[in-house]
A and B are shown apart, each in its own frame.
Chain A
């Protein structure tokens, strides 16, 4: 069974640009969540999607947005990039949000560098 797949793995953007990151969950998983990892702030929760609906949202500005498609694949978008957005963006999937306690499984992440 394939794991969580994130694309692209590495990218460099310029301040002010926008970026879209993609995540394909493990087959059968319907919940997808996104995290930002930086040396200073650690792992911070961005948002979670289940059945194309955002169910949870972290404390990030509106420049960070996401969506989930009917096949459970998810994208996150960051507009008007700032230097501080440079980070590893991790996607994770789990079976369902209808029951609690489901383990989340992570992808390898997308490294974003803003210059």
Chain B
């Protein structure tokens, strides 16, 4: 079974600064997909970024980028120029070839003005 581990339950960052959220996963699959979802206080889960395991290039979406280390099974999220609206719970997720999702326990990020 696949497992996803987020070892940082809570983090905080000063507005405009950069923060990195960690995620590791365990799988025997070679082809899979990784995601970061954001859940603000409204509870709406919003896709932040996705990465295909067969791509070596790290995914980037505006201020959000990932550091994907396949051999180490690590998938961290970097948020640059943090904004107040980034305050949310962030979930790392793994999707196997069967399209089944596994989520980490989440990291609560607070952006401090």
**Residues of A near any B CB (own CB < 8 A):** 31, 33, 35, 42-45, 48, 55-56, 88, 90, 92, 94, 97, 100-109
> Which of B50, B52, B91, B100 counts the most chain A CB atoms within 10 A?
B100
Contact of A31 among B35, B44, B46, B99 (CB under 8 A): B99
Verify B35–A103 contact, CB threshold 8 A.
yes
Q: Point out the residue from B35, B43, B44, B99 that lies within 8 Å of A48, measured CB to CB.
A: B99
Of A31, A44, A55, A109, which is within 8 A of B43 by CB?
A109
Report the minimal beta-carbon distance from B35 to chain A, rounded to whole angstroms: 7
Contacting residues of chain B (67-113) with chain A, CB-CB under 8 angstroms: 91, 95, 97-106
A18 shortest CB reach to chain B, Å: 24
Check B98–A101 contact: CB distance below 8 A.
no
Chain A CB within 8 A of B42 CB:
yes
Residue of A nearest to B98 (CB): A56
- In the bound complex, CA of A31 to CA of B99 (Å): 10
Return the contact of B101 from the options A55, A104, A105, A107 (Cβ within 8 A).
A104
Q: Mark B32-59, 1 if CB is under 8 A from A, else 0.
A: 0101010000111111001010000000
Can you report 26 residue pairs joining A to B where beta carbons are below 8 Å apart?
Answer: A31-B99, A35-B101, A42-B103, A42-B104, A42-B106, A43-B91, A43-B103, A44-B103, A45-B101, A56-B98, A56-B99, A56-B100, A88-B43, A92-B45, A100-B31, A100-B97, A101-B52, A101-B95, A101-B99, A103-B47, A105-B47, A107-B44, A108-B42, A108-B43, A108-B44, A109-B43
What is the interface of chain B, defined by CB distance below 8 A to chain A? 31, 33, 35, 37, 42-47, 50, 52, 91, 95, 97-106
- Residue B45 contacts which of A31, A90, A102 (CB distance < 8 angstroms)? A90
B99 to chain A: closest residue by CB: A97
Most buried by A among B46, B47, B99: B99
Which residues of the other chain, B, contact A106 by a CB distance below 8 angstroms?
A: 37, 44-46
| Residues of B contacting A56 in the complex (Cβ-Cβ under 8 angstroms) | 98-100
Closest 5 CB pairs of A and B: A106-B45, A43-B103, A42-B105, A101-B33, A100-B97
